[in-house]
Amino acid sequence: MAKGLKSIKDIRQYWDSEAELGPDRSVIDQNDKKGSKIKYITRLRDRAVLNELSDIAASSRILDLGCGSGNLSKTLDNQGFCVSGVDISLKILKYTQHQKFTQPSLFAQYDGKCLPFSANSFDACVISGVLCYLNDADLLLQLLKDVSRVLKPGGRLVAVEQTRRTRKYQQNKMKLQRPATEILQTLAEAGLVNKSHQIIRRGHFLLIYPIRYGLIPPPFFPYIGKIEVFFGRCFSRPLFDYADTVFVAEKPSD
Ligand SMILES: C[S@@+](CC[C@H](N)C(=O)[O-])C[C@H]1O[C@@H](n2cnc3c(N)ncnc32)[C@H](O)[C@@H]1O
């Protein structure tokens, strides 16, 4: 493997070690001890994902790829979807046992290379904060091709990933924030048709600091979230910092 590129084994080791931080900090923000920022970010992400799935019938089958502790899976379950979650880290995946799912659901560890499902199984697939941990372009393409395989024709992919104007490695090269154009190109190479992409949050949005320190109470989060999404629409490219971007793509119908 070329220097600096992380293998699935490296990525699994990294996430296994993060697991000790607990179900939320390990997968959303390692430094957020109060949990306010995590609450704000996950709310914004969940609303954006549900918005993109709003025309998909309840009880449809959704794959949560890189589901972590299952916090997004739980949101989808609350909406009536039947969720299958897969992750490469068993230590993080174990936290899903503490979530109470009301719909039929399934969680499994997998090898990060071949999804353990037959072709055309899912109505939709969600991916949140996973693609930026694949800094090897071949592994990224392989994963997205496999997503395309398991989606039904016309099935939808909704991915929430950090993007930047130019590529930037973070966390000792564990994370790679890519320009949106690079992700769009890889989605297309994987056989998916890009439908939209939109910024929902910026890394250094000023109000995130008082949120993080608990100075803004949660009842204000919906209003602040609306401001962020509005700015995301006005300025469609990241500025100097990273931006959480929602990508929507579909598998072509037969
Ligand atoms: C930042 S966390 C996000 C977890 C969850 N999607 C969420 O939004 O809360 C990234 C997760 O992706 C998993 N992961 C990383 N690379 C993966 C891969 N190639 N296949 C499946 N899961 C992967 C990690 O183990 C970790 O649980």
Contact 65, 86 (CB under 8 A): yes
**Bridge partner residues of 64 (DSSP):** 85, 126
Summarize pLDDT for 203-220 with one digit per residue, the tens: 888 888 999 999 999 999
Sign of CA dihedral 24, 244, 14, 12: positive
In a mutational test of the pocket of ligand 1, which residue from 20, 133, 141, 157 has the highest number of ligand atoms less than 8 Å from its CB?
133
Contact 177, 162 (CB under 8 A): yes
Give CATH for domain 8-250.
3.40.50.150
Q: Whose CA is nearest to atom 10 of ligand 1?
A: 130
**Which atom of ligand 1 is nearest to 8's Cα?**
19
Domain ranges in the chain are 8-250
Query: Quick check: 88 pLDDT over 70?
Result: yes
In a mutational test of the pocket of ligand 1, which residue from 88, 140, 141 has the highest number of ligand atoms less than 8 Å from its CB?
88
**Which atom of ligand 1 is nearest to 126's Cα?**
6
Predicted model pTM: 0.95
CA atoms within 13 Å, Cβ hemisphere of 84: 19
**Which atom of ligand 1 is nearest to 92's Cα?**
27
Summarize pLDDT for 145-188 with one digit per residue, the tens: 999 999 999 999 999 999 999 999 998 889 999 999 999 999 99
